[in-house]
């Protein structure tokens, strides 16, 4: 049943990259939104949350129009770097990153907002630099919530279907993720393959959730 392992490996690769990108994008955005005061902050928060509430087909259409060969971003990528994103696994990463992004930055923002300012003040009194302060005090204190957000985002990225199908197509071994492979097996009446793929997906999800439980200990790492 290699027909199932290849989509599984691809799904983990796409979701892994999406989560890694979200680690940087989501934590940065969450920190900025939690700590900086600027006009239009609430509006920005709402706009950045859009991918979570918009139908994936709408997002897929936006991406197809923007990243396509004739789209503004797509044309720029092709003429400057010779990169054509559409129908590649990288396009699936873009789609997965965007749909999962709100889950990361929302969790990060909430986590940064509840970090007690006294700890940071204390560190400043001890003449800890701002950068070191972020990595040695603020981030460790907020880490648990961020990790929870990242795991949710990984799950969301792995399950992404609509936008991915539109921008990455469905090429076996190249862009066919688990969710798309299941859809296609059902469309083609291959119930045996569909059953197996669904089983693999379910087991994978449970494994991720169990791993999530292990990764999140009952203590705040920064305090040990």
C-alpha to C-alpha distance for 141 and 34, rounded to whole angstroms: 14
146 neighbors 111 (Cβ within 8 angstroms): yes
Find tokens 């997002």 and name the residue: 59
The burial of 150, by beta-carbon neighbours within 10 Å (0-12 exposed, 13-18 middle, 19 or more buried), is given as buried
CB of 166 to another protein, least distance (A): 9
Q: Find out whether 100 and 18 touch, Cβ atoms under 8 Å.
A: yes
Which one-letter DSSP state was computed for residue 129?
A: -
Report the nearest approach of another protein to the CB of residue 66 (Å): 12
* Binding status of residue 70 toward another protein by CB under 8 A: yes
By the rule CB under 8 A, 187 interacts with another protein: yes
Chain residues 190-219 in contact with another protein, contact rule CB under 8 A:
190
List the interface residues with another protein, window 72-91 (CB under 8 A): 86-87
Considering only the stretches 12-20, 41-49, 68-76, 205-213, report the one whose residues sit in contact with another protein under the rule CB under 8 A. 68-76
Name the residue nearer to another protein (CB basis): 117 or 189: 189
Question: Does the protein bind another protein through residue 39 (CB under 8 A)?
Answer: no
The whole-angstrom separation of Cα 146 and Cα 152 is 10
CA 46, 49, 53, 59 dihedral sign is: positive
Number of residues that bind another protein (CB under 8 A): 16
Single residue of 25, 66, 186, 198 touching another protein by CB under 8 A: 186
Name the site residues for another protein (rule: CB under 8 A): 64, 68-70, 86-87, 165, 169-171, 184, 186-190
């Amino acid at each position: 049943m290699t027909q199932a392992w290849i989509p599984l490996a691809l799904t983990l690769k796409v979701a892994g990259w999406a989560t890694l990108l979200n680690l940087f994008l989501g934590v940065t955005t969450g920190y900025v939104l939690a700590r900086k005061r600027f006009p239009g902050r609430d509006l920005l928060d709402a706009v950045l949350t859009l991918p979570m509430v918009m139908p994936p087909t709408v997002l897929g259409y936006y991406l197809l129009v923007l990243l396509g060969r004739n789209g503004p971003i797509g044309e720029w990528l092709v003429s400057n770097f010779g990169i054509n994103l559409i129908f590649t696994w990288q396009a699936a990463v873009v789609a997965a990153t965007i749909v999962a992004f709100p889950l990361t930055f929302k969790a990060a923002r909430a986590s940064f907002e509840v970090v007690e300012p006294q700890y940071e003040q204390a560190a400043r009194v001890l003449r800890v630099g701002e950068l070191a302060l972020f990595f040695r005090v603020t981030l460790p204190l907020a880490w648990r919530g961020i990790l929870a957000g990242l795991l949710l985002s990984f799950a969301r990225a792995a399950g992404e279907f609509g936008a991915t199908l539109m921008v990455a197509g469905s090429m076996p071994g190249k862009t066919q993720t688990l969710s798309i492979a299941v859809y296609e097996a059902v469309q083609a009446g291959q119930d045996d393959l569909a059953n197996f793929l669904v089983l693999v997906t379910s087991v994978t999800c449970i494994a991720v959730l169990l791993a999530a439980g292990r990764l999140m200990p009952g203590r705040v790492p920064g305090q040990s």
